[in-house]
Amino acid sequence: MATGDSPGESLSIEDVVAAVAAGRISERDAVVAISPMAVEAALHAQFDGGGMAIATGIGASPGAAVGQVYFDVEACLDAADRGELVILAADATSPADEIAMRLAEGIITAKGGIASHAAVVARGWGIPAVCGADMITFSAGLMHIGDEHDGGPTVAAGDTISIDGATGEILLGDLGAGGGGGSDALDTLLGWADDLRAGRVGIRANADSGADAAHARHLGAEGVGLCRTEHMFLGDRLPLVQNVILAANDAAAATALQALGEMQRTDFIDLLEAMDGLPVTIRLLDPPLHEFLPDATELAVAEATGNLGPEDAMLAAAVHQWCEQNPMLGTRGVRLAIVRDGLYRMQVKSLLAAIGERTDAGGTPIVGIMIPLVSDVAELRMVKTWIAEEIAAVEPTRLGQIEIGTMIETPRAALTSAQIAPHADFFSFGTNDLTQLTWGFSRDDVEARVISRYLDLGLIEANPFERLDRIGVGALVKSAIAAGRVANPELEIGVCGEHGGDPSSIEFFVGAGVDYVSCSPYRVPVARLALAQAILGLAEFA
């Protein structure tokens, strides 16, 4: 390698591609020379200049954004209709907010962190986000920095602000975001990275719609590793999910399921068409109830003030019945399906109908059905029986290739993987929940307050929701892979948590022997480079 072209120096993507073209370095050297973070910077807008941050949170989704800030869905929609660039700022977000999140230039939340609803959705859509800015409070159309009574900065609805989703900074005014979008040099570099990892470890995307899947494929994804089917029911579709959960009797549940199923069928067709010929893993519904039900506190206030109509009163009673102290550990995933009979059968019927339509149209659907939050093999066996019964009712020639697997996201599932593996075609590690449950950290509550303090004191080296904890969570992943493959040598292993897009975590997963990683579409290019570098690193020390 020529002087000045060593991997240790800070070279741009354009520099190394030019150096390969000039014959000064090899394609392998070029792949090693570039940091995955340089790929991330090339994909996302950056600020033209600097500024003074008025608040700082967790950089939850990279990129720079400028816009006029608003604090609720309706205000964001109205502003967008007026042609304004919008930044949504809120205490936290839920699926009910996603109609505004999708059109926002950037997102700010006072609560949550790298694995919160706002962060996961923002990364999936490539929207800059700052989460866990817990010095922010809201009142009467204002965003206060610090206590609203201590004279700190105040931002009004409609004010222009800038946010940096990499550093977590929130700044006043327009700092002039520009750049991003990739380049021909980046495409060339990633092509070399793909050649180096070919046949070793695959890269898939977490995508919940045909449009997201098509974009992920454009960015280099080789399939969908996680389709969160609950994300298909947002905005004006949200009441459909609520009707299923809150149905007063079997007849009401059946009616709600039928409406839900028809929408699922059309969404599945779009998704399978976008990824035709590539594997698509469909996760059956896993809605944490607090994200998909009306807010119990707001309903209680309305009831106390006499502003609750007869229909709302019935809704409040149902919400109260389903209210949980810790919904992330409550009636979600496979547990909800067992309690609300027919839910997963409906989804499977819709999926099989979509597969049949794609097959009839000349498509090549390759589908995995993934069962979430399994903790015991008995849960998996029960749901597999339901799926088998639905498959048996369909003409086999219309089904294409279907596999059935499970997420490994509870410590018990990891520890009992030898019992689960013989009944699964694949495992996919859901590292967000596995991290939460292994550490005993609430991923929505601890990042800004607890984890930031732990990092300051040196108690932990990195945020475990951002970089995989190799000693604890990683040990569970490694042991589950080893035991699972002994019990089922044909078992396919993937990762679909957000760690699948983190270079350090990817290095660990490659060493642990996964078959693929899956991440948000906009992190696919980062993962492509990180996978190649991890494979080269293993070869160097083999």
Active site residues: 117, 496
What is the Cα–Cα distance from 141 to 144, expressed in whole angstroms? Answer: 10
**b (16+ CB within 10 A) / e for 459-478:** eeeebbbbbbbbeebbebbb
Distance CA 497, CA 409 (A): 9
Q: What tokens does 307 get?
A: 């502003």
Cα distance between residue 39 and residue 514, in whole Å? 23
d(CA 209, CA 227): 8
Residue 60: what residue type? A
DSSP string for 120-162: HHHHHHT--EEE--TTEEEETTEEEES-TTTT--EEETT-EEE
Task: Measure CA 71 to chain center.
Answer: 23
Q: Which long-range contacts (CB under 8 A, 24 or more apart) does 194-198 make?
A: 194/220, 194/528, 194/532, 195/27, 196/27, 196/28, 196/31, 196/532, 196/535, 196/536, 197/528, 197/531, 197/532, 197/535
How far is the C-alpha of 369 from the C-alpha of 470, rounded, in Å? 28
Measuring CA to CA, which residue among 428, 472, 410, 532 is closest to residue 29?
Answer: 532
Cβ-contact 126, 521 below 8 angstroms: yes
What gap in Å lies between CA 477 and CA 408, rounded to an integer? 9
DSSP letter, residue 524: H
Query: Sign of dihedral through CA atoms 336, 339, 340, 343?
Result: positive
Q: Which residues 6+ apart lie within 8 Å of 239 measured at CB?
A: none
Token pair 């370095």: residue: 25
End-to-end C-alpha distance for the chain, whole angstroms: 23
CB-CB neighbours of 541 under 10 Å:
6
Give the pair of three-digit tokens for residue 25.
């370095």
- Helices then strands (H, E): number in the chain? 23, 21
Contact 516, 178 (CB under 8 A): no
* Cα 6 from Cα 310, distance rounded (Å): 72
